[in-house]
């Protein structure tokens, strides 16, 4: 008799860690590593200097939080922007700038997309999530999942950037097990594909925004000329 394969909460955490490390490494062209030691904690929280949270629902319910120090946030932001072709003079100089939060939010959205894609392919379940929310913080904020978890489990994992700046991933979800009853094939997807797809979509959106802005400006200019009788 074939032994059933079981996926636990910690296995799901490992998949999330892989997605975070892989996507950020590709996006910033730098090495992002995480600690092999996982810490059990009692609650999740947003902490200074920049925090991000995402809620999951569907196949399982959970809350994912990432907390970046100012130095880690700026390193990831700058590496990403430089890879996109921007120069140092184009970059924000402080972690509280809106551009920093927007870029980190975009990166976390790519991480979430990679993670939910892996979960869907490997566990054959469907998960929905909200848009990642990035906040520049001066104080700690306690977060909890807005549902009753029968056996809540909370974990924290430490990540390190190429320049040894630290940031943290926290996951809260019900203790669960997914048991494989029948064999099935898993379709693999390269994290490079996730990043390039997201980048192409962003470029297309920027082009559409630029064209729309040009059209609006031309229309406004024509209205002004008409008012002047020219």
Q: Locate all alpha helices (DSSP H) within 124-190, ordered by sequence.
A: none
Q: Which residue has the higher pLDDT, 209 or 170?
A: 170
Q: What is the pLDDT of residue 49?
A: 93
Residue pair 61/128 in contact (Cβ under 8 Å)? The answer is: no
Nearest to 198 by CA among 68, 111, 75, 95: 111
* Residues contacting residue 164 through CB under 8 Å, at least 6 positions apart: none
Bigger pLDDT: 28 vs 182: 28
All domains of the chain in start order, with CATH = 5-189 (3.40.1550.10)
What pLDDT, on a 0 to 100 scale, did the predictor assign at position 152? 82
Q: Reply yes or no on whether the pLDDT at 230 is more than 90.
A: no
pLDDT in tens, 56-86: 888 888 899 999 999 999 999 999 999 999 9
Q: What is the pLDDT of residues 186-226, one digit of tens each?
A: 666 555 555 555 555 565 555 555 555 555 555 555 554 45
User: In this predicted model, which residue has the larger pLDDT, 224 or 149?
Assistant: 149
Return the exposure string of 56-68: e unless at least 16 CB atoms fall within 10 Å of the residue's CB, then b: beebbbbbbbbbb
Looking at the predicted structure, is the pLDDT value of residue 39 above 90?
Answer: yes
Q: What is the arithmetic mean of pLDDT over 132-160?
A: 84
- pLDDT score at 228: 45
């Amino acid at each position: 008799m074939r032994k059933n394969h079981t996926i636990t909460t910690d296995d799901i955490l490992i998949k999330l860690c892989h997605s975070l490390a892989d996507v950020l490494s590709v996006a910033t062209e730098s090495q992002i590593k995480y600690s092999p030691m996982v810490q059990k904690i009692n609650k999740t929280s947003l902490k200074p200097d920049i925090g991000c949270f995402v809620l999951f629902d569907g196949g399982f319910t959970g809350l994912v939080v990432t907390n970046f120090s100012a130095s880690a946030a700026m390193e990831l932001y700058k590496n990403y922007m430089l890879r996109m072709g921007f120069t140092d003079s184009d970059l924000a100089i402080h972690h509280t700038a809106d551009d920093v939060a927007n870029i980190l939010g975009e990166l976390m959205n790519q991480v979430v997309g990679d993670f939910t894609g892996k979960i869907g392919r490997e566990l054959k379940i469907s998960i929905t999530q909200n848009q990642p929310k990035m906040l520049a913080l001066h104080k700690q904020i306690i977060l909890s999942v807005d549902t009753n978890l029968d056996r809540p489990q909370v974990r924290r994992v430490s990540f390190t950037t190429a320049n040894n700046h630290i940031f943290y991933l926290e996951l809260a979800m019900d203790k669960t097990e997914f048991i494989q009853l029948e064999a099935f094939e898993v379709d693999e997807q390269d994290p490079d594909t996730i990043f390039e797809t997201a980048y192409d979509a962003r470029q297309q959106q920027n082009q559409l925004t630029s064209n729309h802005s040009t059209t609006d400006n031309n229309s406004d200019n024509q209205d002004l000329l008409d008012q002047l009788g020219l």
